[in-house]
């Protein structure tokens, strides 16, 4: 066991001595062992010498030297990052500002020497290839390679032309046809570029030396292949020569301008990367030349020029052709050119600062250009999302204002979901360009940055779930609301509609409940990702809920009663109900109450806990009974035939035939009074249609009675007065007494009719 421990200590010490920092060699040992303090390292320090030294040392000496080495390494590592762990925010900002302005100042100071210093680099390059003749030979080989690769590309395109049929565009092409045409053309160009790329590589390797390829490969990549790829992408999006096929909302002039300058921008960016790479290859000092700074600055100035020159066209592009634009969409469209200017300026400041700090590894690979591209493309991608949603969203369900509102709401939900997903993809692509991955953050799980990323990801997922659930419920609600036949204004004003389906009543409450639950759950999960313990929050919420339950028992009773009313399907939105003498159409329901709209316009709010019973007048079917009073000499059989004929005519009328469940017919004589004979008729109809049918029946009965010589009975009051044959001798007092007696009889009869035998009268 002692030998194993000694061997392990020896191996560890050997690794620390050979691979450890050199600066640790001169530090004094802090071991309390005197022998360890007197031990000195052999010179030269070779693995064999170390093994011989360890073989002569005791276990305590080996242990002491090992501790010394570990302490030295720990001390040096702690001294390497003092600024990263202890620097204040103000000091960090000050260091960034210093790096920025010193970098700019240095570039300005060295600008007069740029041409001469770059001339020295080029002279060295020419000398390395044997003078001007060697450089001319190199350029000739590059031209030959490009020419051969282009010929191979054209031959490949001709050979595959029969496989790539693509019909010419038309002026009335649909979006699908336009995308198909442009995508096929884009893929043809990509196929040609791939052929060109591989042909150039093969030819270059055959006719050039490795030293020549070091110069030729970046030149062809950055200044030939990249611009051609940019042109293909621009032709796909802008279609400068096919306005009917254009995927974005810009005119021909703006499309041509943007395409030309996008290719020019790629050429300038490629030239910047190529020249920086060229200077590094030729061992030129970038800090002395500062060519990269000025070329990079020219790229940002070019972006600003494009955005400002084409600002009106870019705003039109951002607006798109969707008629359902919101104020936010219009604000984004107006601000996009200024956003592009701000992105270019911000990227210049960031790159300049990072260069001043010496962090140029990812900049040399073009990460800042990738970042700028995706930041500028993000608002344009938003326009693409709106265009796709406009053409891909499911068609509108039904007709009318309800269906239109549901359709617009569905579109906005799809757009918001697309925006969240697009933002996440853009952030991932930008992070990858800087060699940053979310997996690294998750594995490290260190610092506020990691917590913040997880926090934002949790909120994004919660928002998508929120929108998806709301979208599904809104679609179902729209389907339920538009499936029922709408009532006309005259019918709807009477109340008593059939109402919506059970789902149409429950879905609004389900939507609110689901939205609240999603917000609460994902908010707590997001807070938990920041390192905050959510257990006290849950406990506090439980205690608060208990307190609310004890302090608001009436509220709890209302909520529970409402749940059971909904379970029993006692009422639905749109139905006409009576609640303890209060009548009206159910207009709105919430968690604790319902609102009834009276047919005269009054709105009643009734808590569920105060509802003793509900009388529903709109469930399944309604029966309406009508009374007609005719004189005593009218034949009831004749009236029955008239009612039957009217009922048959109503069943044949296109306006009413679908609303009847049973036709209008006579029920015979229902009463005989001192006025005449009361004959009753009835019909059964769908809820909400009975009042329009009743009005039409009244009109037809009046016309039929008039055509058949039947008059409605009129109320008469006869006063028998002895000696009426001498009425001309009555005094004024006698006439007033007779009139008062007749009025009293009429008023008594009216009050009796209004009571209706103790039944309520419908004031409609």
The predicted model gives 211-231 an average pLDDT of 91
Whether residue 81 is predicted with pLDDT greater than 50 in this model: the reply is: no
66, 480, 485, 509 from 406: Cα distances, Å:
75, 11, 17, 17
The predicted model gives 471-489 an average pLDDT of 63
Residue 672, strand partner residues: 677
Q: Quick one: pLDDT at residue 561? A: 76
φ and ψ at residue 387, rounded to 5 degrees: -65, -40
Closest CA to 380 of 323, 331, 319, 428: 319
- The number of angstroms, rounded, from the C-alpha of 273 to the middle of its chain's C-alpha atoms is 37
Q: Quick one: pLDDT at residue 30? A: 38
- State the chain's maximal CA–CA distance in angstroms: 163
Closest CA to 592 of 575, 605, 579: 605
Whether residue 245 is predicted with pLDDT greater than 60 in this model: the reply is: yes
Highest mean pLDDT among 50-59, 546-555, 677-686: 677-686
Residue 99 resides in a domain: no
Residue 552's pLDDT band (boundaries 50, 70, 90)?
low
| Dihedral angle sign, alpha carbons of residues 490, 491, 497, 500 | negative
Question: Residue 743 sits in which domain range?
Answer: 724-758
- The CATH number that applies at residue 609 is 2.30.30.60
Contacts of 562 (CB under 8 A, 6+ apart): 589, 591, 592, 593, 594, 608
Convert the pLDDT of each residue in 600-613 to its tens digit. 778 888 888 888 88
At residue 585, the 3 state secondary structure works out as: strand
Of residues 201 and 533, the one with the higher pLDDT is: 201
Residue 29's pLDDT band (boundaries 50, 70, 90)?
very low
Whether residue 400 is predicted with pLDDT greater than 80 in this model: the reply is: no
468 and 403 together in one domain: yes
The predicted model gives 676-691 an average pLDDT of 84
Whether residue 387 is predicted with pLDDT greater than 50 in this model: the reply is: yes
* Cis status of the peptide bond prior to 44, with omega within 30 of 0: yes
Of residues 448 and 537, the one with the higher pLDDT is: 537
Whether residue 475 is predicted with pLDDT greater than 80 in this model: the reply is: no
466 and 519 together in one domain: no
Q: Quick one: pLDDT at residue 555? A: 67
- Domain final position from 483, 504, 532: 483
Q: Average model confidence (pLDDT) for the chain?
A: 76
496 and 607 together in one domain: yes
Closest CA to 333 of 272, 379, 377: 379
Instruction: Give dist(CA 519, CA 463) in Å, integer.
Output: 8
Q: Quick one: pLDDT at residue 24? A: 35
Contacts of 528 (CB under 8 A, 6+ apart): 534
Q: How many domains does the chain have?
A: 5
225, 238, 529, 595 from 231: Cα distances, Å:
10, 10, 44, 62
The predicted model gives 730-741 an average pLDDT of 67
497 and 609 together in one domain: yes
Angle at 252 between CA 246 and CA 254, to 5 degrees: 100
Residue 476 resides in a domain: yes
Instruction: Give dist(CA 326, CA 319) in Å, integer.
Output: 10
Of residues 26 and 549, the one with the higher pLDDT is: 549
Residue 716 resides in a domain: no
φ and ψ at residue 686, rounded to 5 degrees: -70, 145
Residue 745 resides in a domain: yes
Q: Quick one: pLDDT at residue 543? A: 64
Whether residue 534 is predicted with pLDDT greater than 80 in this model: the reply is: no
Give percent of the chain with pLDDT exceeding 90: 15
Residue 559's pLDDT band (boundaries 50, 70, 90)?
confident
Residue 297's pLDDT band (boundaries 50, 70, 90)?
very high
The predicted model gives 335-359 an average pLDDT of 90
Highest mean pLDDT among 259-273, 325-339, 476-490: 259-273
Residue 165 resides in a domain: no
512 and 610 together in one domain: yes
Contacts of 556 (CB under 8 A, 6+ apart): 549
**Contact predicate 700/626, CB 8 Å:** no
Q: Is 176 exposed, middle or buried (0-12, 13-18, 19+ CB in 10 A)?
A: exposed
**Tokens linked to 224:** 């030939």
Whether residue 147 is predicted with pLDDT greater than 90 in this model: the reply is: yes
461 and 402 together in one domain: yes
- The CATH number that applies at residue 627 is 3.30.70.100
464 and 535 together in one domain: no
135, 212, 282 from 130: Cα distances, Å:
8, 12, 15
Residue 761's pLDDT band (boundaries 50, 70, 90)?
very low
Residue 660 resides in a domain: yes
Whether residue 1 is predicted with pLDDT greater than 50 in this model: the reply is: no
499 and 593 together in one domain: yes
Whether residue 757 is predicted with pLDDT greater than 90 in this model: the reply is: no
Q: Quick one: pLDDT at residue 306? A: 93
DSSP states along 245-258: G-SSS--HHHHHHH
Whether residue 28 is predicted with pLDDT greater than 50 in this model: the reply is: no
Instruction: Give dist(CA 304, CA 661) in Å, integer.
Output: 73
**Contact predicate 611/558, CB 8 Å:** no
Instruction: Give dist(CA 612, CA 580) in Å, integer.
Output: 7
Residue 20's pLDDT band (boundaries 50, 70, 90)?
very low
Q: Quick one: pLDDT at residue 229? A: 93
Whether residue 32 is predicted with pLDDT greater than 90 in this model: the reply is: no
Of residues 53 and 151, the one with the higher pLDDT is: 151
505 and 610 together in one domain: yes
Closest CA to 66 of 46, 36, 43: 36
Q: Is 598 exposed, middle or buried (0-12, 13-18, 19+ CB in 10 A)?
A: middle
Residue 420 resides in a domain: yes
Of residues 680 and 478, the one with the higher pLDDT is: 680
Instruction: Give dist(CA 750, CA 756) in Å, integer.
Output: 10
Residue 265's pLDDT band (boundaries 50, 70, 90)?
very high
420 and 439 together in one domain: yes
Residue 216 resides in a domain: no
- Domain final position from 77, 102, 120: 77
585 and 650 together in one domain: no
Of residues 722 and 514, the one with the higher pLDDT is: 514
Highest mean pLDDT among 338-342, 720-724, 746-750: 338-342
The predicted model gives 320-342 an average pLDDT of 85
Residue 508's pLDDT band (boundaries 50, 70, 90)?
confident
- Domain final position from 427, 453, 483: 483
φ and ψ at residue 680, rounded to 5 degrees: -110, 140
Convert the pLDDT of each residue in 358-386 to its tens digit. 888 888 778 888 888 888 887 777 777 87
Whether residue 662 is predicted with pLDDT greater than 80 in this model: the reply is: yes
Contacts of 418 (CB under 8 A, 6+ apart): 385, 388, 389
Q: Quick one: pLDDT at residue 82? A: 43
Convert the pLDDT of each residue in 103-143 to its tens digit. 899 889 888 888 888 888 888 888 888 888 988 999 999 99
Length of the chain, please? 764
The predicted model gives 507-532 an average pLDDT of 81
The predicted model gives 622-638 an average pLDDT of 86
504 and 593 together in one domain: yes
């Amino acid at each position: 066991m002692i030998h194993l421990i000694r061997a392990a200590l020896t191996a560890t010490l050997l690794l620390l001595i050979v691979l450890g920092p050199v600066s640790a060699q001169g530090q004094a040992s802090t071991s309390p062992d005197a022998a360890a303090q007197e031990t000195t390292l052999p010179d030269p320090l070779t693995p064999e010498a170390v093994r011989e030294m360890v073989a002569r040392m005791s276990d305590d000496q080996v242990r002491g030297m090992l501790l010394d080495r570990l302490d030295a390494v720990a001390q040096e590592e702690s001294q390497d990052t003092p600024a990263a762990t202890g620097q204040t925010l103000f000091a960090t900002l000050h260091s960034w500002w210093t790096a920025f302005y010193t970098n700019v100042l240095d570039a300005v100071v060295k600008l007069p020497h740029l041409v001469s210093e770059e001339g020295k680099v080029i002279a060295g390059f020419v000398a390395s290839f044997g003078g001007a003749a060697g450089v001319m030979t190199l350029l000739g080989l590059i031209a030959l390679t490009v020419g051969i690769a282009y010929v191979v590309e054209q031959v490949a395109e001709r050979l595959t032309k029969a496989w790539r049929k693509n019909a010419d565009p038309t002026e009335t092409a649909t979006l699908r046809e336009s995308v198909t045409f442009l995508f096929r053309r884009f893929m043809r160009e990509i196929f040609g570029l791939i052929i060109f790329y591989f042909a150039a590589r093969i030819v270059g390797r055959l006719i050039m030396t490795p030293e020549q390829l070091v110069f030729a490969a970046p030149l062809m990549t950055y200044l030939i292949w990249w611009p051609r790829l940019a042109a293909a992408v621009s032709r796909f999006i802008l279609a400068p020569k096919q306005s009917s096929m254009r995927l974005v909302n810009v005119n021909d002039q703006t499309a041509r301008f943007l395409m030309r300058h996008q290719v020019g921008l790629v050429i300038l960016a490629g030239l910047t990367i190529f020249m920086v790479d060229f200077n590094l290859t030729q061992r030129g000092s970038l800090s002395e030349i500062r060519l990269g700074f000025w070329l990079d600055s020219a790229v940002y100035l070019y972006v600003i020029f494009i955005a400002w020159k084409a600002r009106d066209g870019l705003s039109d592009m951002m607006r798109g052709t969707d008629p359902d634009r919101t104020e936010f969409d219009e604000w984004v469209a107006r601000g996009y050119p200024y956003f592009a200017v701000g992105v270019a300026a911000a990227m210049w400041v960031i790159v300049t600062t990072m260069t001043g700090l010496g962090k140029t590894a990812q900049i040399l690979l073009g990460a800042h250009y990738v970042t700028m591209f995706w930041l500028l493309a993000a608002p344009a991608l938003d326009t693409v999302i709106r265009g796709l949603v406009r053409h891909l969203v499911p068609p509108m369900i039904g007709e009318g204002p309800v269906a239109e509102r549901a359709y617009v709401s569905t579109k906005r939900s799809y757009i918001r979901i697309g925006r969240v997903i697009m933002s996440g993809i853009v952030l991932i692509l930008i992070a990858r360009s800087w060699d940053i991955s979310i997996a690294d953050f998750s594995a490290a799980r260190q610092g506020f940055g990691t917590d913040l990323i997880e926090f934002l990801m949790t909120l994004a997922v919660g928002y998508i779930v929120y929108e998806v659930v709301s979208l599904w419920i809104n679609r179902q609600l729209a389907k339920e609301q538009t499936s029922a036949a709408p009532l006309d204004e005259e019918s709807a004003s009477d109340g008593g509609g059939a109402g919506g389906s059970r789902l149409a009543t429950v879905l609004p409450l389900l939507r609110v409940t689901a939205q609240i639950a999603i917000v609460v759950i994902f908010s707590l999960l997001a807070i938990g990702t920041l390192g905050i313990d959510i257990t006290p929050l849950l406990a506090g919420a439980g205690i608060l809920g208990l307190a609310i339950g004890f302090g608001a028992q009436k509220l709890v009773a209302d909520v529970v009663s409402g749940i059971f009313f909904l379970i029993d399907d006692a009422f639905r939105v749109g139905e006409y109900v009576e609640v303890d003498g209060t009548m009206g159409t159910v207009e709105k329901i919430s968690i604790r109450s319902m609102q009834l709209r009276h047919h005269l316009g009054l709105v009643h709010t009734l808590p569920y806990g105060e509802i003793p019973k509900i009388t529903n007048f709109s469930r399944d079917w309604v029966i309406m009974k009508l009374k007609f009073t005719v004189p005593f000499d009218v034949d009831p059989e004749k009236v029955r035939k008239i009612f039957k004929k009217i009922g048959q005519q109503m069943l044949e009328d296109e306006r009413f035939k679908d609303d009847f469940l049973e036709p209008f017919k006579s029920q015979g004589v229902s009463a005989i009074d001192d006025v005449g004979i009361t004959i009753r008729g009835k019909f059964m109809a769908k809820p909400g249609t009975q009042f329009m049918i009743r009005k039409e029946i009244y009109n037809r009965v009046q016309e039929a009675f008039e055509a058949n010589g039947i008059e409605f009975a009129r109320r008469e009051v006869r006063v028998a007065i002895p000696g009426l044959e001498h009425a001309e001798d009555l005094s004024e007092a006698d006439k007033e007494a007779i009139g008062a007696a007749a009025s009293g009889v009429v008023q008594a009869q009216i009050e009796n009719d209004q009571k209706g035998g103790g039944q309520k009268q419908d004031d409609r």
